[in-house]
Structure 1
Amino acid sequence: MKPRLSGLTSVIDRGISPSGLRELMNVAGEYIDFWKFGWCTWLLIPLKAVKEKIEICKEFDVKVMPGGSSLEAAFARGKIKEFLSFLKKLGFSSLEVSNGIIEMNLEEKLKLVQTAKDFDFYPVITEVGRKKPEEDASLPLSERVELMKRELEAGADYVVVEARESGVGIGPYDAKGDVKKDFVESITREIPVEKIMWEAPLKSQQVWLIKRFGPNVNLGNIQPDEVIPLETLRLGLRGDTMPDLLLKVSR
């Protein structure tokens, strides 16, 4: 039952219409916790439609946020407070704080977390990692873990492990999209699993993470049409996880 604190599913919105969103929520709303307007897509949609989609999400107890890229754009222009006020007027309830594109030091990012809290966004979710695979690969794992710790200590409610929409050749996944086990285990030795949101756009990644951490692992960058298939994996109602979970799951 919602609201959940773990076992969260975060859906990425690439531009679905309000009517399409309502149709999805009517059949899958119970299984969606966060709805994220991908990167800056929502800036190209009529504001009336953005507001309508936000209201639909609220009807189904789904937290809604803009992609972190739009916050980075506001930061680059020195317009953070104006931007956050605008988000509040539109009805956004949650916020993602990232620095995957625009240069931003840790203190600046932590200040953004606190500012988001001051504006009463909840949850505030930070993202650790870079958008360009070569830049992300240059971020030492020990430093990545330390950043996650610092951001949680600063008040972030969850931390996203960057993997982009593709889930291939970036963050916890190799060039084939397979999970880098040592990478994942190094993070979970230091960071509580319930505080981590794993971007896991591929079914194979979802299966691995659910088998490793159980059905209440937090998963993000889920496509709208993958919500119900993912829930069957969580519940052990699909061949990939049935032997492991069918008689053990309680959600």
Structure 2
Amino acid sequence: MKCFEFLLPKRTEKPRNKGLTMVLDKGLGYETAKCLMEIAGDYVDLLKFGWGTIIVHDKEIIKRKVEMYKSFDIIPYTGGTLFEIAYNNKKIDEFFKEAKDIGFEAIEISDGSTDMKEDEKLEFIKRAKKEGFYVLSEVGKKDPVVDAKISLDRRIELVNAELKAGSDKVIIEAREGGKNIGIFDKNGIAKEEEVDYLKKHIPEENIIWEAPNKDQQVYFILKLGKEVNLGNISSDDITSLETIRRGLRGDTLNKI
């Protein structure tokens, strides 16, 4: 039972297919992560081990963290950069095997920092599905200059192709900072016409909008509703985001 539960607005409960919160783990210790999930695990759906962080951490600790997250009905997964590192090193077979050995049942496939061909990426998505993984893929480039060259129509084409190949969710790139990339300008403000165009051509339940900053989270919730899928949420902001979703913070109080 929650405190003042009679004042708590309802929303979709886990397991959810919409209103997903994807949280970024940048190297939390096991006990810290467990304590955080004990108080806020109800509000986390997907947990991404950021970029190549787990390569530099003890394997047994990562295994324990993966199982711990699963115990809270959370899907932990490897970040896309880790997959790209495996791709650059021609170690894709070893990557899939290691991911399973550690206990991951989900992976992210991206091409944000590589010159991976589109057909290659789609084949990797298909293979990951055949391997039994829940697949997240990401559209966009890490370099703002390169990313800016991708037109909206091209982004839509890529997203829909990846969904057709088997991606369960497609992430719209915004990086950890959420500025000057994808749908965000240099100040981190969403380009509303681009958001409208994207959501018109892609099923909303299949998109995860990376929105690392509070103002971005408020924007998407006010525009698309409390059940919008949001990603790259800091582990410090899990409870904050949930209160924004439920209208328990001034930013959305009486607005949703």
Same fold (TM over 0.5): yes
214, 236, 240: which one pairs with 2:225?
A: 214
In the other structure, the counterpart of 2:6 is none
1:1-251 to 2 correspondences below 5 Å:
1-122=13-134, 124-245=135-256
Residue segments in structure 1 that go unaligned for 5+ positions in a row: 246-251
| Percent identity over paired residues | 44
TM-superposed deviation, 1:14: 0.8
Equivalent pairs counted in the alignment come to 244
TM-score by length of 2: 0.94
- The aligned amino acid for 2:30 is P
Q: Distance in 2 between matches of 1:240 and 1:63?
A: 29
Q: Deviations over 1:40-75 (max 9, x none)?
A: 001111111111110110110100111101101111
Cα distance in structure 1, aligned partners of 2:69 and 2:63: 10
RMSD of aligned alpha carbons: 0.7
Give the TM-score normalised by structure 1. Answer: 0.96
1:248 match: none
Q: List per-residue Cα deviations over 1:147-183 (Å, max 9, x = no partner).
A: 0011111111111000000001111111111111011
One-letter identity of the residue aligned with 1:233: I
Query: Any unmatched runs of 5+ in structure 2?
Result: 1-12
CA-CA distance at 1:212 after TM superposition? 0.7
